[in-house]
Amino acid sequence: MAINDIPRTLWWEDGTVYFVDQSRLPLVGDVLACTTAEGVCAVITGMAVRGAPALGVAAAMALAVWVANESGSIDGTEQFLAGLDATADTVTATRPTAVNLFWGVERIKRFARENADLPLAELRDLVVEEALAMAAEDEERNRAIGRNGAALLPEAARLLTHCNAGSLATVYFGTALGVIFTAHEQGKVAGVWVDETRPVLQGARLTAWELKLAGVPFRLITDNMAASVMRAGMVDAVIVGADRIAANGDVANKIGTYGLAVLCKEHGIPFYVAAPTSTFDLTLESGDDIRIEQRDPREVEGVTFSGVLEPGSPSETRAFESLTSEGPYSMPLAKGHAIEISRKGGGYQVDGWVRIAPPGVEVYNPAFDVTPAEYVTAIITETGVSRPPYGESLSIACAGSGAIHEL
Ligand code: MRU
C-alpha cells in the first residue's frame, strides 16, 4: 500500500481526456473517455470529476478536446477564438463555486489570445499543450503544498479532515491530503479522523479510500462526531481544502467546514486551509460575494449507491441475465426509490437511490459554506504559508505564482 497506488484523476491520450469516475468510487472504478467539450461538461455536472483543482484542469481539458476534435471546420483565427469563448461559457456554467474552474478556462483563453498571431494549426497544438502543462503543474504545486503544510504539524499528529481534498480532488497528490501524505512519509501522523461528509459522502467514499491505499492510519466518523472527538482532546489540527478564497481570507469549502472551524476556535485547535493559489479570487472582497452551489434535493432526501453484483448461484446468474437482456433494467419501486441493474464486463452493476425522508419534504441543500477568515489559522499554498492579516499575505502568496486574478 502506497500513495502510488492511487490512480491519476485524469489524463490525456491522443485527443481523448480520461477521467476516473468518482461518482461511483470506491465500489465501482470506471474510467470515462471524453472526446468533446460537452462530454467533459457532463462529467463535471455528474461529479465524476470534482474537487476544485481537478475542476480547473478538467475545464482546461474541455477546451483542449474542443480544439483538438471540434474546431476542425474553423479556418480563421477570429472565428476560432469566438468558438473557444463560447465553449468556455458552457464549461463555466457547469458548477459555480470552485473558482479554479473559471481560472482553468481563463488561462486557456488568455493563452490563445496571446498567441493569436500564429498560424491556426500551430495555435491549436499550443493550446492543447497548455492544457497538458496545467495538468503537469498541478502535481508539482500539490507536492509543494504538502511540504509547506507538513512543516506546521507536530510529531504524532492527530488530524481531522472534511470532504475530499485528496489526490482525486486534484490531478494527483491532493492539497489537504497532500499535507497529510507528506507528514505521513515523515513519520509524523498518528492518525486521521475522516468526516464522512454528508450528503455526497466524499469523505467516506474517497478520502477513506485514498488514505487506505496510502497506508495512512485513519478512522471514519459521521460529521456530527467531530465536536466530541475534539472535546475529548483527540485532535491536534484540522486541515481542509478550499473551493474559493476571497481577498480577505474568507474560505468557501464543502458544507460543514464552517462548523469545524468554529469548533476549532472553541477547543483551541489550529484550523488550516490547504489550497493552490489558483483557488484565490482576489476580485472578491469577502466570502459574502461567493456564489454557493445549490444541489439536487435528492442528495439529502435519500442515499445513492453503486456496487457490483456477485451472483451466488447459476439461477441468480440466469435471473440477472434475463433482467438485463435488453439493456439496463430499472426495477419498478414505490416512493421514488430507484434501482437499475446493468451488465458490466462479464458481470453486473447496480446503481440506486433509496429514499430516507418522507416524500414531499422541503429540502435545503447548499454544497458549500463560507468560513470567515477570523477562524482560519493559516492558508497553506504552493508558495508558502499565509497568516492573518490575509488582505496582505494572500497578495504576497499570489505574486509570481502564476495566479491570474487581479491583485
Ligand atoms: O462538491 P465537491 O466534491 O467538488 O467539493 C469538493 C470540496 O469541497 C473540496 O474540499 C475542495 O474542492 C478542495 S479540493 C482540494
CATH of the domain at 213: 3.40.50.10470
How many Å apart are CA 389 and CA 396, to the nearest integer? 11
Domain boundary pick from 115, 143, 171: 143
Q: Are residues 118 and 162 in the same domain?
A: no
Domain boundary pick from 85, 114, 143: 143
Q: Are residues 45 and 149 in the same domain?
A: no
With cell 473517455, the residue in question is 33
Position 3 scores a pLDDT of 86
Average pLDDT over residues 175-192: 98
What is the residue range of 11's domain?
3-143
* 100 falls within a domain: yes
202 Cα nearest atom in ligand 1: 3
- pLDDT level of residue 335 (50, 70, 90 thresholds): confident
Q: Are residues 222 and 269 in the same domain?
A: yes
Position 346 scores a pLDDT of 86
Residue 402 has pLDDT above 80, yes or no: no
Residue 367 has pLDDT above 60, yes or no: yes
Helix (H, G, I), strand (E, B) or coil at 66: helix
Helices and strands counted in the chain (H then E): 13, 18
302-309 and 347-355 beta bridge pairing: antiparallel
* 192 falls within a domain: yes
Q: Are residues 261 and 186 in the same domain?
A: yes
pLDDT in tens, 339-355: 999 999 889 999 999 99
How many Å apart are CA 348 and CA 352, to the nearest integer? 13
Q: Are residues 100 and 48 in the same domain?
A: yes
Q: Are residues 344 and 316 in the same domain?
A: yes
Q: How many domains does the chain have?
A: 3
Do 245 and 273 touch, CB atoms closer than 8 A? yes
pLDDT in tens, 232-276: 999 999 999 999 999 999 999 999 999 999 999 999 999 999 999
276 lines ligand 1 (CB under 6 A): no
Which of the residues 138, 195, 223, 243 is marked catalytic? 243
The dihedrals phi and psi of 362, each to the nearest 5 degrees, come to -90, 135
Q: Are residues 394 and 275 in the same domain?
A: yes
CA distances to 16, 152, 191, 268 from 155, in Å: 44, 10, 11, 18
Position 406 scores a pLDDT of 47
End-to-end CA distance of the chain: 43
Position 404 scores a pLDDT of 61
Q: Are residues 374 and 351 in the same domain?
A: no
Task: Please report which helix (H) or strand (E) contains residue 182, including its range.
Answer: helix 176-185
240 Cα nearest atom in ligand 1: 10
Residue 219 has pLDDT above 60, yes or no: yes
pLDDT in tens, 97-115: 999 999 999 999 999 999 9
CA–centroid distance, residue 61 to ligand 1 (Å) = 19
* 78 falls within a domain: yes
DSSP string, 127-179: HHHHHHHHHHHHHHHHHHHHHHHHTTSPTTEEEEE-S--SGGGSSSS-SHHHH
141 lines ligand 1 (CB under 6 A): no
Average pLDDT over residues 314-336: 92
pLDDT in tens, 274-284: 999 999 999 99
Q: What is the DSSP letter of 214?
A: H
* 407 falls within a domain: no
Domain boundary pick from 90, 115, 143: 143
Q: Report the CATH number at residue 17.
A: 1.20.120.420
C-alpha cell at 101: 474552474
* 406 falls within a domain: no
16-20 and 302-309 beta bridge pairing: unpaired
Q: Are residues 111 and 181 in the same domain?
A: no
* 325 falls within a domain: yes
% of residues, the chain, pLDDT over 70:
98
Known catalytic residue at 236: no
C-alpha cell at 7: 490512480
Q: Are residues 199 and 312 in the same domain?
A: no
Across-strand partners of 3?
none
pLDDT in tens, 196-210: 999 999 999 999 999
CA–centroid distance, residue 241 to ligand 1 (Å) = 7
Residue 27 has pLDDT above 80, yes or no: yes
> Please, what's the largest Cα pairwise distance for the chain?
69
Confidence (pTM) = 0.95
Q: Are residues 380 and 258 in the same domain?
A: yes
Q: Are residues 133 and 160 in the same domain?
A: no
* 396 falls within a domain: yes
* 46 falls within a domain: yes
